[in-house]
């Protein structure tokens, strides 16, 4: 089985985790996170919410700001990321675990909402991961994945990236496009994503729609309903 990036995140050094966290605190990233949090908080009034690939945990912080009644859970394959998330969420109650979404210790039919933001393309076993989400999601509830895709207008993307980073420093204006380019090179096209979804337990209950986040035309909103 080829590795799509999980091994590098498992071995992620502490300095890389901190660098990632700093990038995620830039203005455009905050806007993107805020937009995602608003969509998610509109889906759930109370109950258990899981962020798969939670990384630095800052999406959980945004969710807590919008609705402190929601029970927060975060899962990440990287120990360094989970340690960072625990620091960032020091004053917020959250269950944070290191682990792989293909095999978790969460109870079946447990979560009221599950999300994953921009890391699905890194999963080595995406179908197993989707099926595990199906297992731990409550019946009649929905998982919402925000995932990048390849079918975008490159010239438009360059314009919007430049606008987004116009107030950032020189280093960040170079670093962010570099990492985004790497992500878009590895990410799926829409047909590839649909083929994966059709092989999962969500095959009859998913929708895929193009959206923009922070004005970037590279995103999909994938809704997975468990019947």
pLDDT of residue 88: 96
Predicted TM-score (pTM) of the model is: 0.96
| pLDDT tens profile 110-134 | 999 999 999 999 999 999 999 999 9
SS (H, E, C) 130-152: HHHHHHHEEEEEEEEEEEECCCC
Asked if residue 111 lies in contact with residue 184, where contact means CB atoms within 8 angstroms, the answer is no
Q: Using the predicted structure, report yes or no on whether residue 8 has a pLDDT greater than 80.
A: yes
Confidence category of residue 1, pLDDT binned at 50, 70, 90: low
Which domains does the chain carry?
6-100+119-170+193-225 (3.40.50.150)
| pLDDT tens profile 51-95 | 999 999 999 999 999 999 999 999 999 999 999 999 999 999 999
Dihedrals phi, psi of 123, to nearest 5 degrees = -70, 130
Phi-psi region of 5 (alpha: psi -120 to 50; beta: other; left: phi over 0): left
H-state helical runs in the chain? 6-10, 14-23, 27-41, 58-66, 79-88, 126-136, 154-164, 170-186, 190-198
Radius of gyration of the chain (CA): 17
Query: If you average pLDDT over every residue of the chain, what do you get?
Result: 95
Asked if residue 133 lies in contact with residue 73, where contact means CB atoms within 8 angstroms, the answer is no
122: which residues sit within 8 A by CB, 6+ positions away?
A: 4, 5, 6, 9, 53, 186
Task: Write b or e for each residue in 72-83: b if 16 or more Cβ atoms lie within 10 A of its Cβ, otherwise e.
Answer: bbbbbbbebbbe
| pLDDT tens profile 208-219 | 999 999 999 999
Q: Out of 6-20, 21-35, 51-65, 193-207, which region has the weakest mean confidence (pLDDT)?
A: 6-20
Average pLDDT (26-37) is: 96
pLDDT of residue 9: 85
pLDDT of residue 201: 98
| pLDDT tens profile 131-151 | 999 999 999 999 999 999 999
pLDDT of residue 2: 77
Distance (Å, rounded) from C-alpha 95 to C-alpha 213?
27
Average pLDDT (179-196) is: 96
């Amino acid at each position: 089985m080829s590795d799509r990036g999980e091994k590098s995140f498992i071995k992620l050094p502490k300095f890389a985790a901190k660098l990632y966290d700093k990038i995620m605190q830039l203005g455009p990233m905050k806007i993107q996170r805020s937009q995602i949090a608003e969509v998610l908080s509109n889906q759930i009034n109370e109950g258990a919410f899981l962020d798969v690939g939670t990384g630095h945990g800052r999406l959980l912080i945004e969710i807590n700001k919008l609705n402190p009644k929601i029970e927060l859970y975060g899962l990440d394959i990287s120990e360094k990321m989970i340690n960072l998330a625990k620091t960032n969420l020091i004053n917020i109650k959250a269950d944070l675990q290191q682990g792989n979404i293909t095999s978790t210790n969460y109870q079946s039919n447990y979560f009221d909402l599950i999300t994953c933001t921009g890391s699905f393309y890194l999963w080595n076993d995406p179908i197993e991961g989707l099926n595990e989400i199906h297992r731990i999601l409550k019946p009649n509830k929905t998982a919402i994945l925000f995932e990048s895709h390849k079918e975008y207008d490159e010239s438009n993307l360059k314009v919007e990236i430049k606008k987004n980073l116009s107030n950032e420093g020189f280093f960040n204006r170079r670093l962010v496009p570099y990492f985004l380019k790497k992500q878009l090179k590895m990410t799926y096209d829409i047909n590839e994503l649909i083929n994966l979804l059709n092989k999962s337990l969500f095959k009859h209950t998913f929708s895929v729609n193009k959206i923009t986040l922070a004005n970037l035309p590279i995103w999909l909103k994938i809704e997975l309903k468990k019947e």
